[in-house]
Amino acid sequence: MKEIRKEENIPNSLEYSVGKSISFGAIGGFVAGLVMAPFLMITAMMAGMPADTMPTAMGLAFGAGKDNAMMVGFGMHMLTSVLIGVIFGAVTSIKKLRIRGFAKGIAEGIIAGMIAFAVIFIPVSMMMMPPVLVGMVNQMNPAMSEPQIMGMLQQNMPLMFGMGIVEHLVYGVVLGAVVSALIIKTRPTTK
């Protein structure tokens, strides 16, 4: 019969490592960013734009040239995903927020995803992306006027924000699940 582990019998140095938590957060953020990527493409296609529109627009917004904007934008997405994971790992290393099982890890991951939605997605979507998207649509369809393009973007805004919520929920679930799995897998056992 397997013995039930009692955490209070394990020395703190063996019980929890902040460095491991941060590393696990980075890994979880990377995996969650990859899982989130198809949702970025689906969002663009649902709005009637090419699948690579979102990463391309992000790259252009950060000063990349047309030839490498998509790769720069995807790189920025992945870098942001990893950084959020690192912050998640650091925050969940605080004793009261430590992940001890999947339910807590996923719940905390969802909270992290929603914070990222509010702090990163909304400001970027409202301030940085519209001018870039107007330019992109104007190049794809020069016959459209700027007011027509802005009207189209405003019409698609509820879709973009709705999908943004879904994307960040998925990100949070995956982040929490991966970090939880890594923590549980590497947890010391007692005999």
For 71, the token pair is 């790769």
pTM, whole model, 2 decimals?
A: 0.84
Name the least confident of 63-77, 116-130, 147-161: 147-161
Identity of the residue numbered 169? L
Band (5; pLDDT cuts 50, 70, 90): very low
Cα 60 → chain centroid = 20
In the predicted model, what is the mean pLDDT of residues 149-171? 89
Report the candidate in 191, 190, 179 with the shortest Cα–Cα distance to residue 15.
Answer: 190
Q: Which residue has the higher pLDDT, 36 or 13?
A: 36
Q: Residue 10 region, left (φ>0) first, then alpha (ψ -120 to 50), else beta? A: beta
> What is the sign, positive or negative, of the torsion defined by CA atoms of 175, 22, 30, 160?
positive
Band (191; pLDDT cuts 50, 70, 90): low
